[in-house]
Every structure is written in C-alpha cells, then in structure tokens.
C-alpha cells in the first residue's frame, strides 16, 4: 500500500491565504489543557457541591463520560475526519479537516484540536447530554467526557513527539503509526484501540 505521508519532519504547510485564518489553524498542544481543565473542575464542583450528587454516582457518570468519549473519538475519526466528499472542493475540505495531518503528521502546531472546533463541539455535546441525562447527571458525565477528550489530545501529541519506553504506551503508538504509514482505513482509535477491536478495524498480525 502506498505511503500516506509527505513529511516526517516537524514542519508545516500553509492552508489558508488569509493570515488570520492561517493563525487560527495553529495551536500549542497545551492550549486545550488551559481551556478545558477549568471546565472539568467546574462541572465536578457543580455535581458535588451544588447538586449534592453522591460520590459513587459522580464516579459512575464520570467514568461513563470517559467511555462515551472513546466511542466518540473513534466515530469522529472514522466517519468525519476520514470522510472525503467528491470533487476539488471535497478534497479541499478533507485536507483542512484531517488530510493535512496525514501529509504532515509531525507538525507540532496541528496535533491537537483548535478551539474554533473543540469549543463548538464541546458545547454541542453538553446540550446533547443535558437533554438526554438532565442537568444533574450530565454534569459529572460531561466532566468525564471532556477528560477523555483531553487524554486523547495529549496522547495524540505524545505519540508523535515523545519517546516511550513502557509497553502500554509503545502499543498505543504502534497502533497509530500503522494508521499513518500502512493503512489509514484501519486503526481509528488514538487513545485506545478498544473500538477498533469491537468494529474489526484493527490491524491483522501480518500487517503489524
């Protein structure tokens, strides 16, 4: 299978002619932490001290939110990021959303989600959970969901820029590298390959 990358260096390519839009397409990997850790703290505080939710229930919905993120991560990566409409416009849209990452996988300023995407998505998911679970239950659930997202973003950056020694992290990195360099139609999980196993999109032994 043909390789799916252009550069293995930490370098970037211009995506927009407009300087302002181009600036918005770059982000330091710590930005999501500064944006969303306060959100996690706020909703956990709201769950415990405002709604008076019991700790066992908070833990249950928090972990459920993390699990919900892992499925969301898989579905977004597989069906949104890798969706490519037909024509030049479709190819352009795909490149902006995700294709640029496959061409420049080690671009350190395009490895985590930019706020112009993450904030609207987080808002949309919050109101979805609010509607489905109610205000009290959605608070710890959303905190867990956002925590899962942060783990995903930091894991993705680390995969491309950190040197791992532990077997656990090396396995996660290897799984993602196969997605980049061997078959981008498999291995959609980044922080976990659990859903790849469930939906049979993991790599076979011979591919590894």
Quick: pLDDT tens for 128-170. 999 999 999 999 999 999 999 999 999 999 998 888 889 999 9
CA distance linking residue 44 with residue 108, whole number of Å = 31
- What is the tens place of the pLDDT at every residue in 143-152? 999 999 999 9
Token duo for residue 108: 């350190």
Number of residues that this document lists for the chain: 208
Please count the other Cβ atoms lying within 10 Å of the Cβ belonging to residue 57: 15
pLDDT reading at 1 higher than 70:
no
CA distance linking residue 52 with residue 29, whole number of Å = 34
Handedness of CA 14, 191, 149, 147 (dihedral sign): negative
End-to-end CA distance of the chain: 13
CA distance linking residue 200 with residue 208, whole number of Å = 15
DSSP string for 60-80:
HHHHHHHHHHHHHHHHIIIII
pLDDT reading at 116 higher than 50:
yes
Angstrom CA distances, 120 to 126, 127, 148, 154, 181, stand at 10, 11, 17, 19, 31
For residue 19, is it left (φ>0), alpha (ψ between -120 and 50) or beta?
A: alpha
5's CB contacts (< 8 A; 6+ apart) are 102, 103, 104, 105, 180, 181
pTM over 0.85: yes
């Amino acid at each position: 299978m043909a390789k799916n990358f252009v550069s293995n260096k930490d370098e970037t390519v211009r995506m927009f002619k407009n300087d302002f839009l181009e600036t918005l397409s770059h982000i330091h990997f710590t930005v999501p932490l500064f944006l969303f850790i306060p959100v996690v703290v706020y909703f956990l505080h709201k769950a415990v001290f405002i709604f008076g939710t019991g700790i066992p229930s908070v833990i249950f919905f928090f972990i459920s939110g993390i699990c919900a993120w892992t499925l969301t991560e898989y579905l977004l990566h597989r069906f949104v990021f890798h969706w490519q409409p037909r024509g030049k416009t479709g190819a352009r849209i795909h490149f902006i959303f995700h294709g640029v990452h496959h061409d420049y996988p080690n671009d350190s300023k395009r490895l985590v989600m930019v706020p112009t995407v993450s904030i609207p998505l987080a808002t949309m998911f919050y109101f979805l959970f609010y509607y489905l679970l109610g205000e009290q239950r959605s608070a710890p659930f959303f905190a867990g969901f956002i925590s899962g997202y942060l783990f995903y973003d930091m894991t993705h950056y680390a995969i491309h820029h950190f040197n791992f020694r532990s077997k656990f992290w090396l396995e996660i990195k290897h799984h993602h590298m196969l997605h980049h360099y061997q078959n981008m139609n498999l291995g959609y999980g980044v922080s976990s390959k659990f859903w790849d196993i469930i939906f049979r999109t993991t790599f076979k032994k011979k591919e590894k």
